Chain A
């Protein structure tokens, strides 16, 4: 579980070009980390690749914070 959190945070930091220390679990991609809508699409693409899963569009739209990303990955990781 902790490992997933670290991996998610690392990807978020890389994709959005922010220091990993700024990425808190409660951080919102758009409001706190300065992402635009296309950044969030790319972020989901990166998560799909890291965790080898496919996140459907309707689910992807609901992932707006680091915590939500962690929750989604944890629930769907094989």
Chain B
């Protein structure tokens, strides 16, 4: 599944799922640009990409800053060429019961997790349409499909990505651009490390495969969707959750 010479932008690539995706694509011959919210995070990305022998690098991107999404696409296009693969992975959680949810928690979630997929997809679309080839892969979550107490904001934003994915897939399919989503289940990352052991054990009981997922499980799915082998798949959500939810 070689994608030699293609250029990918992976947001939120400093650790966890994003890092695994960046390295997976790098292994497929893709020049990868990974983003982090801090300069040190961007440097760390540059370091691991270099170690993997990749020509790409890390860049700082604070998605909520005005003009930042357009700016980074412009920078990458000038430095590396047009972006062929966009992986919208960056995301935050601001968990709270709805009864205690603060406006800032609700708003920050949508500003960070949802608005940038619109901004970045729009910014890369010109190049993808021109080259008649493109891949947009949105990392959503199983909780967007099944819900989770304490995550009304997170699950609402993740569910919104399903609709975005399908609509954009219909808009640009005729130009050779596919738009898909990957919905991870419970993956062993920093985001889920904070959960109490007891709660984790309970979660695993509901996973058919009896274990938490690994970042690589998600990266494999993204690598497949980015490849030419997935050229006839669009508007689809690939659930990678060990069987905790079956669509």
Which of A's residues lie within 8 Å of B, judged by CB?
38, 42, 45
Decide: B171 and A38 in contact? CB cutoff 8 A.
Answer: yes
B interface, by DSSP: helix, strand, loop or mixed?
helix
Give the residues in chain B near A45, CB-CB below 8 Å. Answer: 126, 129-130
Measured between alpha carbons, how far is A38 from B130 in the docked complex, in Å? Answer: 12
Q: What distance in Å separates the Cβ of A21 from its nearest Cβ neighbour in chain B? A: 26
A24 to chain B, nearest CB (A): 26
Can you list 9 A-B contacts with CB-CB less than 8 angstroms, sorted by A residue number? Answer: A38-B171, A38-B172, A38-B174, A38-B175, A42-B129, A42-B175, A45-B126, A45-B129, A45-B130
Which residues does B use to contact A, with CB under 8 Å?
A: 126, 129-130, 171-172, 174-175
| Interface of A (DSSP majority class) | helix
Q: Given the complex of chains A and B, what is the CA–CA distance between A71 and B126 in angstroms?
A: 24
| A52–chain B nearest beta-carbon distance, Å | 15
Question: Which residue of B has the minimal Cβ distance to A46?
Answer: B130
| Closest chain B residue to A39, Cβ basis | B174
Complex Cα–Cα for A38 and B168 (A)? 12
On chain B, the residues within 8 Å of A38 by CB distance are: 171-172, 174-175
Closest Cβ–Cβ distance, residue B87 to chain A (whole Å): 23
Closest A residue, CB atoms, query B171: A38
Give chain A residues whose Cβ lies under 8 Å from the Cβ of B175: 38, 42
On chain B, the residues within 8 Å of A42 by CB distance are 129, 175
Name which residue of chain A comes closest to B125, CB basis: A41
